[in-house]
Amino acid sequence: MPQIQLNLSLEQVNIILKALDHMPYGEVNQLVSQIHQQAEPQLQESSTQKQSPEKIKQVFAEAI
């Protein structure tokens, strides 16, 4: 399957995750996991000077 790269704000990703939360788990769990795997390192990299990694994980976890 061809892959694409999207540039979205954290707010936009959180909106997508909230929408996916309303879908059946079996249909979206792999997609949500992939979003987390790709986003978490980027969030840690961009926020190391602003927030602790624990705070980043908390903010991201609250979005789903």
- Whether residue 2 is contained in a domain is answered as no
pLDDT at 51: 55
In three-state secondary structure terms, 1 is coil
Reported pTM = 0.67
CB of 20 closer than 8 Å to CB of 31: yes
DSSP designation for 26: H
- Whether residue 60 is contained in a domain is answered as yes
Domain membership of residue 63 as a residue range:
15-23+47-64
- Whether residue 1 is contained in a domain is answered as no
- Whether residue 34 is contained in a domain is answered as no
Question: What total number of domains does the chain contain?
Answer: 1
Q: What is the pLDDT along the chain (64 residues), one digit of tens a residue?
A: 899 999 999 999 999 999 999 999 999 999 999 999 999 998 887 776 565 556 556 656 666 5
- Whether residue 56 is contained in a domain is answered as yes
Q: How many CB atoms lie within 10 A of CB 13?
A: 19
- Whether residue 9 is contained in a domain is answered as no
- Whether residue 61 is contained in a domain is answered as yes
